[in-house]
């Protein structure tokens, strides 16, 4: 296990997500969209790294997708013999002895919702009931929970209680990354504790996934409740979301950072449109996003977002060679 003591930590994931490794099982390619090449994604990543190093005075750690996978599997080395219930599909491939739990937190609430069926408020409870029943029938009522990142542990604590109510004991938690607070807490209350590949010290500002800074990426942002449209997604940049409170971006850099996220998203979707030979609309997206309609063209939505800042998106991102 490695430890990061200061700065801010980001984890890359959009290349795997675009190629179908996500909780929604949404494969952009299978849905008629040709995704960018890995070298085009690297252009975006270099630009993001430059921006965040400017904002955080070069105290930035960015883990690759391979790093995150290695962290995950290193943490699981002592978990043989226990059924795995995983909340993650990006870094954890799973096997015949693992079960996926489709679950995320609803913004400003302790309520847990499904990513695939966010408006079915009973989905998570029903999944836990069915998983528990299956395991009990097999006389296996002790499990390990797996997630990519552990923060306060509120979601996992909620799941531990729900499984307990259904006759299943969570013996331990395994993750790619954990905060020190989450690590100490779960090692105190669980027999097998919490193990992770990377531990974040108390002086680390935050840890955020790359997907949260891109529009239209599966699992991007947080789930928010809308009175008329149900559960929608909110990426972590304006005008769709909050970069300050969600991603710890200093207030003085909020506009700069949000504009940069908009331009990187435009570049991403321009690549996808060029590769696919057609326009891409919100109806092609894996999730509904706030302030959008199904027939809106994705690039047009993003360009309108730039009205908050300047009226052009001419940053030179270079070419893929």
Alpha-carbon gap, residue 321 to 264, rounded angstroms: 18
Give tens-digit pLDDT for 129-155: 999 999 999 999 999 999 999 998 999
Phi and psi torsions of 299, nearest 5°:
-60, -35
Better-predicted residue by pLDDT, 309 or 90: 90
Inside any domain, residue 274: yes
The whole-number average pLDDT for the span 80-104 is: 93
Inside any domain, residue 71: yes
**What is the pLDDT, as a whole number, of residue 309?**
66
Inside any domain, residue 321: no
In the predicted structure, residue 312 carries a pLDDT above the cut 80: no
Q: What band does 97 get if pLDDT is binned at 50, 70 and 90? A: confident
Angle 254-256-259 from CA coordinates, rounded to 5°: 100
Inside any domain, residue 185: yes
Give tens-digit pLDDT for 204-230: 999 999 999 999 999 999 999 988 889
Phi and psi torsions of 126, nearest 5°:
-65, -40
- Which residue range forms the structural domain that includes residue 269? 2-308
pTM of the model as a whole = 0.92
Token look-up 């996220």 returns 261
Do the beta carbons of residue 163 and residue 169 sit within 8 Å?
A: yes
Nearest to 88 by CA among 103, 66, 74, 109: 103
Alpha-carbon gap, residue 34 to 16, rounded angstroms: 14
Inside any domain, residue 315: no
Inside any domain, residue 123: yes
In the predicted structure, residue 108 carries a pLDDT above the cut 90: no
Inside any domain, residue 314: no
Q: What band does 318 get if pLDDT is binned at 50, 70 and 90? A: very low
Give tens-digit pLDDT for 23-45: 999 999 888 999 999 999 999 99
Quick one: how many helices (H) and strands (E) in the chain? 9, 13
Do the beta carbons of residue 101 and residue 177 sit within 8 Å?
A: no
Query: What is the total count of domains within the chain?
Result: 1
Q: What band does 310 get if pLDDT is binned at 50, 70 and 90? A: low
């Amino acid at each position: 296990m490695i430890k990061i003591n200061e700065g801010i930590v980001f984890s890359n994931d959009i290349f795997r997500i675009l190629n179908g490794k996500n909780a929604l099982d949404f494969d952009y390619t299978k849905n008629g969209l040709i995704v960018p090449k890995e070298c085009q994604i690297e252009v975006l990543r270099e630009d993001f790294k430059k921006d965040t190093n400017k904002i955080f005075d070069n105290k930035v750690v960015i883990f690759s997708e391979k790093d995150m996978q290695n962290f995950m599997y290193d943490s699981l080395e002592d978990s043989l013999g226990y059924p795995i219930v995983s909340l993650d599909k990006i870094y954890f491939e799973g096997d015949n002895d693992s079960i996926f739990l489709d679950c995320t937190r609803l913004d400003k609430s302790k309520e847990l919702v499904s990513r695939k069926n966010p408006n079915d408020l009973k989905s998570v409870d029903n999944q836990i009931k069915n998983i528990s029943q299956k395991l009990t029938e097999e006389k296996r009522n002790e499990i390990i929970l797996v997630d990519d990142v552990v923060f306060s542990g509120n979601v996992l604590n909620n799941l531990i209680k729900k499984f307990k109510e259904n006759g299943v004991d969570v013996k331990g938690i395994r993750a790619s990354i954990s905060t020190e607070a989450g690590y100490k807490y779960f090692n105190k209350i669980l027999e097998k504790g919490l193990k992770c590949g990377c531990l974040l010290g108390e002086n680390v500002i935050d840890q955020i996934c790359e997907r949260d800074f891109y529009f239209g990426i599966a699992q991007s942002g947080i789930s928010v409740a809308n009175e008329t449209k149900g559960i929608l997604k909110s990426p972590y940049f304006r005008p769709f979301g909050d970069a300050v409170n969600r991603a710890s971006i200093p207030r003085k850099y909020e506009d700069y950072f949000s504009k940069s996220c908009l331009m990187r998203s435009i570049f991403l979707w321009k690549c996808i449109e060029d590769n696919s030979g057609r326009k891409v609309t919100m109806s092609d997206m894996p999730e509904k996003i706030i302030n959008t309609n199904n027939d809106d063209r994705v690039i047009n939505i993003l360009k309108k977002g730039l009205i908050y800042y300047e009226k052009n998106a001419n940053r030179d991102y270079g070419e893929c060679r």
